[in-house]
Structure 1
Amino acid sequence: MSLGETLAIVDIGSNSVRLVVYEMLSRSPAQVFNEKEMAGLGRQVATTGRLADDAMAKALDALVRFRILCEAMHVGNIRVIATAAARDAANGPDFIVRAEKAIGQPIELISGDREAYLSALGVISGFEAPHGVVGDLGGGSLELASVDGDRVGEGVSMPIGGLALIDRSKGSLKQAEKIVRDSLDHLPQVAAMRGRDFYAVGGTWRALATLHQRQSGYPLSVMHGYTVPANDVAEFAKLVERADSAVLESIEAVSSARRPLLAYGALVLDLLIKRGRPRAVVVSASGVREGLLHEQLPDEERRVDPLLQGAQDYNQLRARDPRHAADLIGWVERLVTSSGLYEDAATRRLQDVACLLSDIGWRAHPDYRGEQSLNVIAHAAFSGVDHPGRAFLALTVFHRYAGAKGDTPMAAGLRRLLTPRLLEKSQLLASAFRVAYLLSAGMPDILPRISLTCVDRRLVLRFPEDLKALSSDRVSGRLKQLARLLGREPEIRGG
């Protein structure tokens, strides 16, 4: 298919049937539309061996609706997959025939091994060089596969998804625990978790993470990349296992269809942590669907940095002149290099991304540009960035507009996620941006002609003769603020 063509993925899972429409196939695909129906196809498969009539009817109605929506959106390419419930049920083949008629497309019934592979590939697409084990918990099954950079290890699939556990255990958590323990015995994928990250994929685990964020007062509501030490997750999972979901704080943040699955999802996660002993649990919003997209990309496109690609897309859509960002990247790099400040590759990457995002708020009212940029960047659908990195980017652009003394409750919360070194770097970059935009008005071809470098103990701003008039009291004031952060004396030179 063409990289520029609108595409959709319809995922017929054991718990939900979901439609996601993407603007195009790319390294950082933007979602145009996302809708689901909690059909519960896998509700009785483990004990009856069949898909329930009412669940099938719900799923088929959803597929007809999704077909109409795709036609209305002129979707150029539709991929439809079905997972555990449809592959395990005796009447699964009959359902697939009816489902293909409802959606108007062929359906790929994927195996457990392929589901594990695609989930792992989805994590690779959503994180920068992930290392650990991916676990995808659905309604019917749990898939595990190791990841190492861009490589996927052997996967395994087990029938211990939330709906399957409720069905097989007859609603007994004690019996469900025995089923899970037996299923996890002697698995190399569980042993591979030790000391590494465990990437948690699936709606039930995202719902648990939502509860954890709310109850811990976490300053971000973004799920993707939410990272918690494994011991903390295990303690929280035990709390959820024991508690009545109706009395858990912030339970309204979880859909009513997910609530009965919380205790079973917590049980599986708890036992995985006990057996595997990972370093941390990392929540991934990328899974099978994103893996399908990543699989279709050419090799050179797979190697593109998804965070840089996403920031370039924002710059192209929202900056006054997207060409200015390239000037700013070079201008800031020369300043930082001349300052002698230590710069690792990860921080340099964030620096470049901050430059790309630095002008996305200009259309807002001047009094709210900082606050709007903070909110947009903190919650943008970026991949390839952890939460401290996301906070760094949001705060840098916020202070570029609001100044060093600007503050909001959200900004104060995000600062908790940064190390002192990253916070200092964010403040320095924001201060440099404030000088740059006063000189260039966000237009290209000006900054390359004006140098800002550290020379001995001075911070020197040098203008060519024809641009000397750009110097002003406001420029001088902002230069002093930047010089103070760098521990230098400001100096302006012309000619």
Structure 2
Amino acid sequence: MTEQRIGIIDIGSNSIRLVVYERTSAGAHRVIDGSKRAARLSEQVAEDGTLPDKIIEELVDMINHFRLICAHHNTGLIRAVATAAIRNSANKDHVLSRIHSETGLQIELISGEEEAGYGFLGMINTMSVTDGFLIDIGGGSTEVSLFKERRLVRAVSFPFGCVSMTRQFAKGGMLPDAQLKELEQFVEQAVDRQPWLKQNPGLPLVGVGGTARSLGKIQQALVKYPFESTHNYPIEGQAADALFELLRKLPIGKRKNIPGLSKDRVDIIVPGIAILRTIFRVTGASNYSICGAGLRDGLFFSTRFPEQPRLEDVIMYSVNNLAALHPEAPLQHTSQVNRIALQLSGLLLAGQPSKEQSLLFADVASTLHRIGASIDYYDYKRHTFYLMINSRLNGLTHRELLVCSLIASYKSKNRMKQMAAPYKALLSDDDLTLICKLGTLLQLAIALDRSETQAIGKLAAEESDGKLHLRAVRANGSLDVERKEVESQAGEFKKLWGLKPVLHEH
């Protein structure tokens, strides 16, 4: 069905992007295509403040190209928005009417506040963060928002971005001390007119958009970070400052060779980070956090779920979406395993300080443990690990995602350690112990529905005399397969939990 596909076109000041989203027959959402073109519209504005006809023609060409890609995908709806470069141009009406007449697309010209709102929605639906500042440094504008209790409180759109600041202060991308000071004073004066920005110190500064993502990628390459995603990646203020000075001192020719920095950002990255650092300092932020989602994601959520675009539970929405992308896993079986795993975890983790987080790990791992079978049933656990690590499971830190993936794919302690080896910098000894314990607990839950017939209707569990007594009420069929499987798991389980599981039938 064509309405199951939505194309989002974002006409930004630095680049123009397309993302095509699909809703699968199982109700999951995923991105099926995307394209990006560097535009630098903020640089192209003429002396009189207009966008020249030549630039409008190039813009029309790009949008028609994106429209064709959408047509190939039978996209039922295309939503196209324009931000600062067109918003601030003296001939914006002419630009929009030409695009409309030559592409057939009605472009939404969104205000700075709307831009901040969509950026916030994209971020809050993909991260488990409650309070903070959000910053989106575009080519021609910078949006800063304050959010508390996961709700947007205030937002401002400043009429400067990394492209316009490069033009004003950093000719050729170089930013000497005197120009850096001028740029910082320029930003500080703009902030002074928004006193609320200085009244909430100690909150994280979440960065969306290309400048923030580039900062994350360069920092990860510099420290040889073992995980590939920049989404939900934290950076300390001092580390960002050191990286900024390193980039600022490098001539453009050498800056091109910095790992993690894309070629089309070589000249605008330093002014971009200069804006970021100044806002960080004046707000009194605690640390940076990089967000891989933003405006386009916010537009998708507001288009797809107009009644309630903000998600209540980011983690479980994301987990259930990933499970629905791999419908080959038998749903009744995984639901049964999930119920049993949570029941046993609740009993065995009672009174432990990290019980809530451990229950979350058990929930995520047991829901997703079979998704690897969509690649191949043989060795599906290894495929499950790969899929979880490489699918953005929103709301989890990189460490939490690793822990959940290792529990979901757990087979034995040695194999788990092999799989964890490349990421050992992110995991503590306590994490490895917990993975083994919850991994064997998941194995026991799988054993209790080994026939995949949901033969156990009701399960009562209790600890006594060194045993974990599992009293099952049969729903149908025999429990012979389950009993044998529990017996084969008993030795490993006892080693880690100090209890021997025994299955009794009622």
Amino acid at match of 2:103: I
2:208 paired with 1:201: yes
Amino acid at match of 1:481: E
Q: Which residue of 1 aligns with 2:343?
A: 334
Deviates more, 1:215-224 or 1:164-173: 164-173
Other structure's SS at 1:78 match: strand
Amino acid at match of 2:313: D
Mapped to 1, the partners of 2:94 and 2:419 lie a distance apart of 52
2:320 to 312, 320, 327: 312
- Segments of 5+ residues of structure 2 without an aligned counterpart are none
1:175 to 175, 179, 187: 179
Mapped to 2, the partners of 1:313 and 1:245 lie a distance apart of 43
1:468 to 480, 485, 491: 480
Mapped to 2, the partners of 1:443 and 1:12 lie a distance apart of 50
2:424 paired with 1:428: no
Q: Which residue of 2 aligns with 1:165?
A: 165
Mapped to 2, the partners of 1:87 and 1:33 lie a distance apart of 27
Q: Is the alpha carbon distance of 1:328 and 1:341 closer, same or farther for their aligned partners in structure 2, counting shifts above 3 Å?
A: farther
Q: Is the alpha carbon distance of 1:303 and 1:48 closer, same or farther for their aligned partners in structure 2, counting shifts above 3 Å?
A: same
Amino acid at match of 2:464: V
Other structure's SS at 1:328 match: helix
Kindly report which structure 2 residues correspond to 1:328-367, keeping only aligned pairs within 5 A, or say none. Answer: 328-339=337-348, 340-342=350-352, 344-365=355-376
Mapped to 1, the partners of 2:302 and 2:501 lie a distance apart of 52
Q: Any conservation in 2 of the 1:451–1:461 contact (CA below 8 Å)? A: yes
TM-score, structure 1 normalization:
0.89
Q: Which residue of 1 aligns with 2:499?
A: 488
Other structure's SS at 2:395 match: coil
Q: Is the alpha carbon distance of 1:299 and 1:351 closer, same or farther for their aligned partners in structure 2, counting shifts above 3 Å?
A: farther
Q: Is the alpha carbon distance of 1:154 and 1:349 closer, same or farther for their aligned partners in structure 2, counting shifts above 3 Å?
A: same
Mapped to 1, the partners of 2:340 and 2:47 lie a distance apart of 65
Q: Deviations over 1:380-410 (max 9, x none)?
A: 13322222221222221232xx422115776
Other structure's SS at 2:363 match: helix
Q: Which residue of 1 aligns with 2:20?
A: 21
Q: Any conservation in 2 of the 1:23–1:31 contact (CA below 8 Å)? A: yes
Other structure's SS at 1:416 match: helix
Deviates more, 1:15-24 or 1:97-106: 97-106
Q: Which residue of 2 aligns with 1:5?
A: 4
Mapped to 2, the partners of 1:261 and 1:477 lie a distance apart of 61
Q: CA deviation at 1:300?
A: 5.3
Q: Which residue of 2 aligns with 1:38?
A: 38
Mapped to 2, the partners of 1:442 and 1:91 lie a distance apart of 69
2:401 paired with 1:390: yes
Q: Any conservation in 2 of the 1:46–1:168 contact (CA below 8 Å)? A: no
Other structure's SS at 1:384 match: coil
Other structure's SS at 1:440 match: coil
Amino acid at match of 1:436: A
Q: Which residue of 2 aligns with 1:380?
A: 391
Mapped to 2, the partners of 1:231 and 1:27 lie a distance apart of 44
Q: Deviations over 1:111-165 (max 9, x none)?
A: 2222222222222222224310000011111110111133112211223311101
Other structure's SS at 1:90 match: coil
Q: Which residue of 1 aligns with 2:76?
A: 76
Mapped to 2, the partners of 1:409 and 1:104 lie a distance apart of 55
2:413 paired with 1:404: yes
2:449 to 436, 440, 452: 440
What is the alpha-carbon root mean square deviation over aligned residues?
Answer: 3.1
Mapped to 1, the partners of 2:312 and 2:167 lie a distance apart of 43
Q: Which residue of 2 aligns with 1:231?
A: 238
Q: Deviations over 1:193-250 (max 9, x none)?
A: 6211111011122112111111111121112111122332222222222223554597
Other structure's SS at 2:463 match: strand
Q: Deviations over 1:272-300 (max 9, x none)?
A: 22322311211112212222233343555
Q: CA deviation at 1:477?
A: 4.0
Q: Which residue of 2 aligns with 1:67?
A: 67
Mapped to 2, the partners of 1:431 and 1:54 lie a distance apart of 65
Other structure's SS at 1:101 match: helix
Q: Any conservation in 2 of the 1:315–1:356 contact (CA below 8 Å)? A: yes
Mapped to 1, the partners of 2:375 and 2:301 lie a distance apart of 35
Q: Any conservation in 1 of the 2:87–2:111 contact (CA below 8 Å)? A: yes
Q: CA deviation at 1:303?
A: 4.1
- Segments of 5+ residues of structure 1 without an aligned counterpart are none
Q: Any conservation in 2 of the 1:137–1:202 contact (CA below 8 Å)? A: yes
Q: Any conservation in 2 of the 1:38–1:257 contact (CA below 8 Å)? A: yes
TM-score, structure 2 normalization:
0.87
Mapped to 2, the partners of 1:240 and 1:27 lie a distance apart of 45
Q: Which residue of 2 aligns with 1:263?
A: 270
Mapped to 2, the partners of 1:110 and 1:469 lie a distance apart of 61
Q: Calculate percent identity across the aligned residue pairs.
A: 24
Q: Any conservation in 2 of the 1:132–1:197 contact (CA below 8 Å)? A: yes
Q: CA deviation at 1:11?
A: 0.6
Other structure's SS at 1:23 match: strand
Other structure's SS at 1:136 match: strand
Q: Is the alpha carbon distance of 1:490 and 1:71 closer, same or farther for their aligned partners in structure 2, counting shifts above 3 Å?
A: closer
Other structure's SS at 1:211 match: helix
Other structure's SS at 2:214 match: helix
Q: Any conservation in 2 of the 1:5–1:23 contact (CA below 8 Å)? A: yes
Other structure's SS at 1:145 match: strand
Deviates more, 1:463-472 or 1:308-317: 463-472
Mapped to 1, the partners of 2:258 and 2:48 lie a distance apart of 31
Mapped to 1, the partners of 2:164 and 2:298 lie a distance apart of 24
Q: Is the alpha carbon distance of 1:409 and 1:53 closer, same or farther for their aligned partners in structure 2, counting shifts above 3 Å?
A: farther
Q: Any conservation in 2 of the 1:144–1:157 contact (CA below 8 Å)? A: yes
